[in-house]
Every structure is written in C-alpha cells, then in structure tokens.
Amino acid sequence: MPNQYHGMRFLALTLLLFIGQSVLAQQDSIPPKREGDSISLQVQDTITLQAKDSIVADSIRSKLRGREAAKLKSQQKDSVSIRDYRIISYYGDTTVVDTTLTIRKDYIYNYLREDDFELMPFANMGQPYNELGKDFSSISYYPKMGASAKHPGYFEKEDVDYYKVPTPMTELMFKTTFEQGQYLDALLAFNVSERFNMSVAYNGFRSLGKYRYEEAQDGKFRTTFNYMTKNGRYALRGHIAAQEMQSEESGGLLDRSQFEDDLPDFQDRAKIDLLYTNANNRILGKRYFLDHQFKLVNHKRDSTDVSPTTLAIGHEFSYETKMYDFEQTQQNDAFGQDPFLVPIEDRARLKTMYNKGSVDFSNKTLGRLSGNVSLFNYNYFFNSILITDQGTIQNRLQGEEITVGGSYRNTIGPIYLEGDLNYTVVGNLTGNNFNALARYRLNEGNALSGSIHVSSRMPDFNYLLYQSDYRNFNWQNTDTFDNIRTKSIKFGFDSKNFGLLTAEYSTLDNYTYFASTATEEEIGLGQETAFVRPFQESGTVNHLKVKYKKELKWRKWALMNTVMYQEVTQGNQVLNLPQVVTRNTLYFSSDVFKKAMFLQTGVTFKYFTSYNMDAYNPLLGEFYIQNNEALGGYPLLDVFINAKVKQTRIYLKAEHLNSIFSEPNYYSAPNYPYRDFVIRFGLVWNFFS
C-alpha cells in the first residue's frame, strides 16, 4: 500500500488491540430489562429527597445522590435491550442491530456484505462482479468517474451508516480468503454523551488467489458522528472515508485448453499460463461529508405528540477526490501496439464538491414536503492534452451544475406515498430525475406497491473523455454523446403467505456501452481487448425483469427460493443478460447442546442460463459487450454449516462443490474461470459493554 495508508493500518491495528482488551470485561449478552428495580429505586429516592430540609440533611442528601447515581447507572445498564442499538442510514431509515442467524445472513456473508444474487463473482475476492441482472430504476443523478467494474466494494456516501447506541458496541467480521490472506471488517460504535454518537470502522483484506498474478487487497477506513440537541431542534451528522482498492491484472487465460482439458498438470491453477503478468489497477478515494438541520418551528400539541408540525432548514456538504490508475511495466499486444510511452501509467482523477440547501415542512396530516437547491462542482482530468492527426483530445472536463428539486412523503391510512423531483437549470451533465412510489397495505400480511422512475443524464465521465499511453484508448465524446433517457415502471406484491413478487419494465434511449471493434483476425490473435471503445445506441432498448422470492417451511426444514426472469428487446445486441437466474436453498435449523447453540445447515443451488456474457477490460476497469460466444448454463452448488452461540455467528461453507466432478466450463467472463471447490470459514461477533 502507499505510504499514506501506513498510518491508517497502524490506526486500525491500534483500534483492534484496544477492542480486544476492552472486550474481556464485556458481557456476552445484553441483560434483560428489570422494571421492578427501576420502580423501587424511584419511589425510595423520591421519599428520601422530600423528607429532609436542613443543612445536615443537605450533607446526607449529597451522599445519597452519590449512591443514587451509582444505582441509576447500574439500573440504566440493566435496562438496555438490543433494540436500543440503532443503525441510521443516509436516508434517515432506522434499523436495530440484528444478532440473529437467518438464511439471509448467509446470503450477505460475503465481500460486499449484501445479497449477490444478481452478480457473478470472479475467482478471487475483491475482483470484479459480472452482472446477471440490471436495475434501471435506481440510477445516480450525476455521472460517476467510471471504472464501474472496480467499484462494487467502494463505499459511496449512501453506503455509510450512522449509529445511536446506549453503550459501546463492537462488531467484528472475519472470513478466510484464497491463499495467504484474510478478510476483516471491524466496527466500534460508542456515545461520547447521550446525544453525541461516533463510530470508527476499518474494512480490509488481502488474497493471493489460486491463479498467478491475481492478488487483490483493500483498505477502507470510515469514521462517523451524529449529534442532536436536547430539545431536538438541531441535528448534525457527518463522516470521513478513505479507501484504496488495488489488484493485479492478468487478462485471463492465455490458453483455455489448459483449464478446459482438465489435465493433471494444471490442477494446480498457479501453473496455468496467463495473458500477461505485469499490470495493476487501483481505485483511491477520500471523502468528507457533513449534513445538518435546524428546526425553525417545532410545534407540539402536548408532550406525547410524536409527529409535531415542524419547519426546518438543512444543508448537506460533500467533498470527494478519486483516482483510477492502470499501470503496466511493458507493452502488451492485448491493448495494442506502438504505445506513446512505456511503462504504461494511465491515471484519471475526479474531484467533486456538492452543496445542497433545503427547506423542510412536516405535518402529521399533510406529510413531509421539502424543496432544495444544489450546486455540484466537478473536475475530471488527466495530466496532458493529446494532439493527434484525428484532432485534439482535451485533458479536462470541468464545470458546475445547479439543480432545483423537491420531495414528498406521507402516510394516509394504509397508503404510503413518496416522491422526489430534480431538474438541472445550469449545466450539461444532467437533465432531470423523477421518482414516485405508492404502497398500499391490504391487511397485516399483504401489501401492494408501484413505482415510476424517469431520468435523463450524460454517461459516466470515462465514456466522455479518456486518455491512455495506449493509442487506442484515447477519445472525447462530449460533442457526440447525448443524455441517456431512462423510463421505468415497477410493481410489487408482498405477501406473508405467497412471497414477494416484483416486476419491472424499463425503456432506454441513447443507451451507452463499451464494445470491441476488433475483426475476426484480430480476435484470433488475442487483440479483442485492444479495440474496446464507448458507443451509444440510437435505438430503444427494452428490459423486462420479473423476480419472485418465497420461503417454504415444514417443522425444522425450510426451502428458500429466488427466481428471476428477464427479457431484452433491442435492435442491436447491446445489452446481454441471462433469461433465467435461480437460487434455491434447502436447509435445516435447530437448537443443539441444550439450546446453547443454534445450528443451521443446508445446500444452496444457483443456476443461470447461458448467454453472451460480458467480457472484462482491465485497462478501463469496465465490462464490454461481446457477441462471439455464450457462457453460463452451469450450476453452482454450495454446502454450508452455520451456527450461533450467544452473539457470535459462525460460518463454514464448501463453495462450488460440484466442480469436483463436473466439466471445467465455468466462467465468470470470457477467459476468466470461476473459482474451483474451496472451503472457507468465518464469523461475525458482536460485543456490548
């Protein structure tokens, strides 16, 4: 890692040592609330304080108060429950810390810490994920830097959580990786006072991988704070995030027969020849975020009014610097011949600053209505201007966007309404964005929902401008590319008895993608990657996605099913997705060892139909469309044994078990095999002091 991250690693190590020392004094579980003790203490204290009124009594009273404080502190600790440890998202949604063991916990026990049903991971941890499904209803309003294949594990500002805890809370996640490495995600949340909470977290791993030259490692540091005054009028929160994600790049297999022929000499994957062994890429980001709000009016009918009429002003600030590097010590024909410079040192930088001022009105009857004005400054740049026979390619895209918008939320009986609108009045990157959601609760176990998304914005920055030491990877499309226009409508039915069914239909105009213009001869020479460029589809692309989830239970057995169907209608083959993706988990759950342990064991089957799977370009850090071969159509079989002891969840999984006896035709992308059979172990451990 670079020198600037040595201090971060030292800080993380110091934090973990501190946690280890403090944990020895912590209780294994949170004690139950004892109402009787609380009532008894309050009655006794009240009588004692009212009975004395002399100077001597003042002395006695002060001694009693000291005892009261100790008793009260003990009583408060005893009255804390797990529901008092709260997690607050960027959007203000609040959840409680969950230490249970469910099948969903198994699905999110991975590098991303989220369900990867619609993703296909590469062989090593920290490498890209190929997409098995698309969601066009949740698109960021402003274009991003690019290198999207390198960003799945990157913490955006919407991914950072804030905490409100009565006592210090620690969460440690550990998981083995692939050869010479481990994964650790450590979090410490605590309160400086009753109204001021902080958290410190570090997420890092190193994994050598089974193949040569695919080592990957991350280091992601976050610290958060949130504060609210006693009267609740002023609220403040913010975070600092520093992240580095780097990996070696090999370009995949040089000779596929070494993998597919299943010869004994190549069972050790480190012996397989790779396309190149001298390239690296890296994402480096730093962000400072602040969000605060002051209530000008906070009118309550009485002390029990939980939905008072309020009028508040708010301000959100974010400043972020990001850098994407690709380095290669020698030229390779896979990216083109005759580069400008050797060694290859491509570096794209993006600096953004975001300010949003808002006015928010809330009323129990009228709901919550807000208006805002935002200013987005951006500076995307390279080191030099490139002058060629075809023209001049600038080194910078710089400007500002001024946007006005508003949002509305309200609950009217069984109906929940939510919507937001943004419109750019100054700037060229964005046009507009509109989202609307309605949810109707039929009864306690059934609900209907519907949503609409309409947006217009330019593609990510690397589609518009890119420079490289390789000649083929230099372009500027600011005058030729138009806004991507997206329209999406979504319906959902959530039933306790029948499961969750969602259907989404999207239309895309000016859909933007990467593709290779290589001829068959150039592809035969292994130079397909060298001719990858951005394109914009002139026709309309239609995408339909239907997804169904349902868990069936019988005694201690359960079958969790997730099935997704997709259909793409398009003039040209620019969006490739599998038609069917399914995941089915059969598992058994039971208390064992006199209920000292909760055990969950079973098998997960995942399958997706074959399709023209997107190929990967390491120089750009992007996937690109290829229509030369279909991949997929193979099962993924995992066997797991999970257990819970007090606040500790233990995970043991045999991944891709069927690769032991199946043909080696499993790929995550063309030239990139999926992982072989491997057994991995890990745990998630919560401490409450």
Query: Three-state DSSP class for 437?
Result: strand
Residue 403: per-residue pLDDT: 98
Model confidence, pTM:
0.87
The one-character DSSP state at 32 is: P
Q: Quickly name the fold that domain 3-27+81-688 has.
A: Maltoporin; Chain A (2.40.170)
Q: What is the pLDDT of residues 355-409, one digit of tens each?
A: 999 999 999 889 999 999 999 999 999 998 998 877 889 999 999 999 999 999 9
pLDDT score for 72: 46
Q: What pLDDT score does 303 carry? A: 65
Residue entry with tokens 């002003």: 313
| pLDDT of the residue at 138 | 87
**Is the preceding peptide bond at 343 cis, omega within 30 degrees of 0?**
yes
Q: Is the Cα dihedral 243, 249, 251, 253 positive or negative?
A: negative
At residue 299, the pLDDT reads 79
Residue ranges for the chain with pLDDT beneath 70 = 1-78, 302-305
Distances (CA, A) of 399 to 23, 376, 384, 429, 478: 50, 8, 18, 9, 13
Find, among 399, 412, 403, 463, the residue nearest to 434 by Cα.
403
Q: Which of 145, 463, 128, 151 is nearest to 321 (CA)?
A: 145
Contact call for residues 611 and 576 (beta carbons, < 8 A) = yes
Q: What tokens does 26 get?
A: 């912590």
pLDDT at 49: 34
| pLDDT tens per residue across span 99-127 | 999 999 999 999 999 999 999 999 999 99
